[in-house]
């Protein structure tokens, strides 16, 4: 086989790998945001409180954050394909167990399995893509992957709401677990860590470039945390993603049902705008950053400022916001709190040499999930601080307090954006 044939086969096969890994990443976002449309059911089924359900949602983020550095180590040692296969199987088991949970303890155990399982998809996928795609293609593929994550949000809001209405939330999570097993099988049978595993030359050889030197993990982490421009970005991630995960991934569903009186299906339809925001916004913000503004910092500042206005509209509008405006508000919320992370990760990568891109992204990736871990139970405690209207149903005053905390957090994120370094 000559060089042209090898090039053609490798370039065709890598798209099959991307599709399978993107499907795996879809389930990462599904589990990340899935509790928002079933939170009310969980409060009632387990006879619990918003604080406890908030903690149940946050367990995912604690597990995810804890595994970001080990994800890089395991990808480098046993390989990303084996890492994704084993841990995604754990996530499948956790999803089935969550559907079968007869107690809160069992539900917490299931969410721990899910959190550990899906935590090992993003960084191994980034490593595999770095082996199959050129450096000039990598940012586009990362944006495309995040757009597929938006489809996971769509599945976790609109589609899960329809499934829960038809079959109940328990059977829905069991079915998701079975579908995850199918993805696991595809990963094992088709995905390969690098072109050389198929007998093809590496991307570096095809491009006639030298592979980058490696920097030890410990040395790389020290360089990251000692960089003064790393911390404004990291704290921005904490607040921005804390707002998105705490509200968008958990309490936005009860907010729409309790404050506005929507059914689960109607709430799911509005929440699906968070998915469309990611699907449309991720590549759009990449284009805005690369081609129009030619800046990372300006895009982050612009989106964070719009996010402040977006949350302010929810806070001031209370229950009087028209339905079409709610659709727009949740779309903008997603673009400015979730799609924007593509620019944040790009900025984090560009702060450091390419040789330590994995370490820098892995380190900064701790902070979005710490934000989710803190904000989910924090917002639950805020709701519990107010009297319930009925079992599992919270008052307008409770949601007003919740939105005020989100607004203050967005202002803190905006302040951090002015302290960042321009990395374009």
CATH number of the domain that 327 lies in?
A: 1.20.1250.20
Angle in degrees, CA 266, 56, 385, rounded to 5? 80
**Residue 67 CA neighbour count, 13 Å, CB half:** 25
**Residue 19 CA neighbour count, 13 Å, CB half:** 7
- pLDDT of amino acid 135: 65
For residue 11, what are its two tokens? 């370039």
Those residues whose C-beta lies under 8 Å from the C-beta of residue 19, and which sit 6 or more positions away, are none
- pLDDT of amino acid 3: 66
Residues 14 and 134: beta-carbon distance below 8 Å = no
Q: Is 394 helix (H, G, I), strand (E, B) or coil?
A: strand
- pLDDT of amino acid 4: 67
- pLDDT of amino acid 88: 95
- pLDDT of amino acid 113: 95
- pLDDT of amino acid 352: 79
Cα(136)–Cα(367) distance, integer angstroms? 27
Please report, in tens digits, the pLDDT of each residue of the chain (424 residues total).
566 677 778 888 999 999 999 999 998 988 887 887 788 889 889 988 888 888 888 888 888 888 877 877 787 778 889 999 999 999 999 999 999 999 999 999 999 999 999 999 988 888 888 788 876 676 678 778 888 888 888 888 778 888 888 899 999 999 999 999 999 999 999 999 888 888 787 776 655 555 555 666 667 778 888 889 999 999 999 999 999 989 987 889 889 998 998 987 788 889 889 888 988 888 888 888 888 898 989 999 999 999 999 999 999 987 889 999 999 999 999 999 998 998 898 888 788 776 666 677 778 888 998 898 899 889 989 999 998 888 778 899 999 999 999 999 999 999 999 999 998 8
Q: What is residue 34's DSSP assignment?
A: G
The answer to the question of residue 140 being in a domain is yes
The answer to the question of residue 321 being in a domain is yes
How many domains, the chain? 1
The answer to the question of residue 205 being in a domain is no
- pLDDT of amino acid 297: 95
Cα(340)–Cα(333) distance, integer angstroms? 10
The answer to the question of residue 13 being in a domain is yes
The answer to the question of residue 204 being in a domain is no
The answer to the question of residue 129 being in a domain is yes
Q: Dihedrals φ, ψ of 98, to 5°?
A: -65, -40
The answer to the question of residue 207 being in a domain is no
Q: Dihedrals φ, ψ of 390, to 5°?
A: -155, 180
In terms of residue numbers, what domain contains 367? 3-195+216-417
């Amino acid at each position: 086989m000559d060089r042209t044939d090898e090039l053609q086969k490798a370039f065709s096969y890598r798209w099959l790998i991307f599709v399978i890994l993107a499907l795996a990443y879809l389930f990462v976002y599904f589990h990340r945001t899935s509790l928002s449309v079933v939170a009310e059911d969980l409060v009632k089924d387990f006879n619990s409180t918003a604080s406890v359900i908030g903690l149940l949602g946050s367990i995912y983020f604690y597990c995810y954050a804890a595994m970001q550095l080990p994800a890089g180590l395991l990808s480098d040692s046993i390989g990303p394909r084996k890492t994704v296969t084993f841990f995604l199987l754990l996530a499948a088991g956790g999803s089935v167990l969550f559907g079968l949970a007869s107690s809160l303890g069992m539900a917490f155990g299931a969410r721990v399995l899910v959190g550990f399982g899906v935590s090992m998809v993003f960084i191994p996928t980034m490593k595999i893509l770095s082996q199959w795609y050129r450096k000039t293609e990598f940012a586009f593929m990362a944006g495309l992957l995040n757009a597929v994550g938006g489809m996971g949000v769509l599945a976790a809001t609109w589609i899960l709401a329809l499934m829960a209405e038809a079959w109940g939330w328990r059977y829905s999570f069991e079915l998701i677990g079975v579908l995850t097993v199918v993805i696991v099988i595809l990963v094992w049978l088709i995905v390969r860590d690098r072109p050389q595993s198929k007998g093809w030359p590496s991307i570096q050889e095809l491009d006639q470039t030298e592979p980058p030197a490696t920097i030890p993990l410990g040395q790389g982490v020290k360089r990251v945390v000692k960089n003064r421009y790393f911390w404004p970005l990291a704290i921005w991630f904490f607040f921005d993603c804390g707002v998105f995960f705490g509200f968008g991934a958990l309490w936005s569903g009860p907010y729409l049902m309790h404050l506005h009186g929507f059914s689960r299906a109607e709430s799911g339809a509005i929440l699906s705008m968070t998915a469309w925001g990611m699907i449309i916004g991720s590549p759009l913000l990449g284009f805005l950053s690369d081609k129009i503004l030619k800046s990372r910092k300006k895009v982050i500042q612009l989106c964070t400022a719009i996010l402040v206005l977006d949350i302010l509209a929810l806070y001031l509008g209370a229950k009087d916001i028209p339905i079409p405006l709610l659709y727009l508000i949740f779309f903008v919320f997603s673009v400015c709190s979730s799609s924007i992370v593509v620019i944040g990760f790009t900025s984090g990568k560009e702060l450091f040499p390419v040789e330590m891109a994995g370490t820098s992204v892995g380190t900064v990736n701790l902070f979005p999930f710490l934000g989710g871990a803190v904000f989910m139970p924090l917002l639950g405690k805020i709701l519990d601080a107010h009297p319930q209207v009925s079992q599992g149903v919270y008052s307008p005053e409770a949601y007003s307090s919740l939105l005020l905390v989100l607004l203050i957090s967005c202002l803190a994120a905006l302040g951090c954006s002015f302290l960042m370094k321009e990395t374009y």
